[in-house]
Structure 1
Amino acid sequence: LIDNIVNVTGIGPHSTFVDFGSGVGNVCSQISLKTGCRCYGVELLANPAQLARALLEQIHVFSHICGYKHKGQVNLYHGDMRTNGTTMPAIKEADVIYINNFKF
């Protein structure tokens, strides 16, 4: 999925990727690690949003341990994408907007 998104969109280090319904943040994290782009994720549900922050912390820890400099920026938010204050600025900046409403 990640390779397909990157290949089809041409997203790169100067791009901005937005994921609405970002769940545990795996798509944002992987896209950012692969391309070095800036990512915004907004998740409505509290538990996945909390797990997303924990996942991102672990990515930073493992990147540091492995000597990998993570060049991208990942911004994860908990809230309703329709009322979250970061949504409109992220949309205006976005090169790619990803919405996958698959519910597990």
Structure 2
Amino acid sequence: MPEFLFDETHLETDSLFVDLGSGAGNTVAQAALTRGCKAFGIELRSAIAAIADTMVKAAIVRSQIWGVPVGKIDVVCGDMTRNAEVLE
């Protein structure tokens, strides 16, 4: 499903992908890995956001090992209605 979404929105290396309520960060990581774009996710639940942080760090390491370029990925824990990055 995300690849269809990425195609339909013309997500490219110079794009910014934002996932509000990003859960474990899978779609955020997939956007950065498959499109090379900057990807940002925010999740309210701290335990789930911690999983996202761990998963994203592992995905970045794997991409470096495999020689796959990856865009900048940020996942944070917070309230999307109060987060400075989201409001910007």
Percent identity of equivalent pairs: 32
Query: What is the aligned partner in structure 1 of residue 81 from structure 2?
Result: 82
Contact 2:33 2:69 in 1 (8 A): no
Unmatched 5+ residue regions in structure 1?
Answer: 90-104
Aligned ranges 1:1-104 → 2 under 5 Å: 1-70=1-70, 72-89=71-88
Scaled by the length of structure 1, the TM-score of the pair is: 0.79
Extract structure 1 runs of 4+ deviating beyond 6 A. Answer: none
Matched positions, count: 88
Unmatched 5+ residue regions in structure 2?
Answer: none
TM-superposition CA deviations, 1:84-103 (whole Å, max 9, x none): 121112xxxxxxxxxxxxxx
Give RMSD over aligned pairs: 1.0
Which structure's relative contact order is higher, taking Cα pairs within 8 Å and 6+ residues apart? Answer: 1
